[in-house]
Structure 1
């Protein structure tokens, strides 16, 4: 990402929060055949170190050469266009506000049992919010057979590069006006802007 020191997110807890709120991730691998990208949900693991787990549908693990090299995992949080009409007169350059994290690490392949447990946690995590949510345990034999079509992985994040570009370069009045315009169409981004500007 562009080197913008005043937008840096350096707190791992904030990166964890971003991943939890936006678990749909893009995995990018520099393979012998060139760059390969795939998209899968991720879970943040408990513990002091930043670590995520996920799964790939076969044969993506072969295409990505999983475990052979570092991969990039992109977490895209809330984002939106910011019109210059929301600024003070004469300030004509619009922008795009966003919260984004790039995570780096070498994937570790999970055993079949670890993969099934991870898939169960992943499913339970998302099903808990659904009316009449389901669980893999309702048909363990059948879901274990389906799980064989996937490969589980863990990435212990060795480094991350994260940005919260939220109009920190604007005055409090202008930032408040931007928040007001975003409130109805992108309330999550408006909330992130409020968080970023509270400490000013």
Structure 2
């Protein structure tokens, strides 16, 4: 991802927030057979306050990616959406796309069986916990044998990134009144309404205004 100083996201807490809110990641690597990409839910490592992530892949994706042996890239995508040139007013303009993205690169550490089980447990709890009647991993009708058989078909990993590229392209290079118009259009019930993107824009511009004070 090409970086641009106007859109650089360098705040660790904000990057962690993006990852936490958007855990469905794309995992990419380059091996003997060329480029390969997989899609898995990934979590921040509870024991760290940096950008270390944990997750799992199903076998044989670990072999396809050469996990533990070569570098891989994990991409997180935040809210994104189309920005019409008509929202800029009577000025020369072309369409664009606003977005937030985080790229983490590094060679992952392969987890042992017990730690992999713990990560799988965390993943289930993270998402199932929001249900009115959660079906957690170790609850009936699941039993220990069933859970361990499923876990045996997965490979857990921990990635402490050696390279981080995070970008928040949310109209930071536009005048304040134009930004307000774009946010209003995204909040409206139109063909390109995207309230989550509007909230991200508001957050980014509030932070920018605070930094300028």
TM-score (norm: length of structure 2): 0.91
**1:35 and 1:26 mapped to 2: Cα distance?**
13
* Paired position in structure 2 for 1:83: 84
In the alignment, does 2:197 pair up with 1:189? yes
Alpha-carbon RMSD across the aligned residues, in angstroms, is 1.1
Q: Secondary structure at the match of 2:79?
A: strand
Q: How does 1:39-58 map to 2 (within 5 A)?
A: 39-46=39-46, 47-58=48-59
**1:112 and 1:88 mapped to 2: Cα distance?**
58
* Paired position in structure 2 for 1:175: 179
Once the two structures are superposed, what CA deviation does each residue of 1:43-89 show, in whole Å capped at 9, x if it has no partner? 10132332101110111111111111111001011100100000020
* Paired position in structure 2 for 1:72: 73
**1:140 and 1:52 mapped to 2: Cα distance?**
26
Q: How does 1:50-199 map to 2 (within 5 A)?
A: 50-138=51-139, 139-184=143-188, 185-198=193-206, 199=208
Q: Secondary structure at the match of 1:136?
A: coil
**2:49 and 2:41 mapped to 1: Cα distance?**
21
**2:95 and 2:53 mapped to 1: Cα distance?**
35
Normalized per residue, the structure richer in strand is 1
**2:146 and 2:137 mapped to 1: Cα distance?**
9
Which range is displaced more, 152-161 or 45-54? 45-54
**1:140 and 1:178 mapped to 2: Cα distance?**
52
How far the C-alpha of 1:147 sits from its partner, in A, is 1.0
* Paired position in structure 2 for 1:9: 9
Unaligned runs of 5+ in 2: none
**2:172 and 2:50 mapped to 1: Cα distance?**
29
**2:163 and 2:3 mapped to 1: Cα distance?**
16
TM-score (norm: length of structure 1): 0.96
Contact 2:43 2:55 in 1 (8 A): yes
Number of matched pairs: 200
**2:144 and 2:97 mapped to 1: Cα distance?**
46
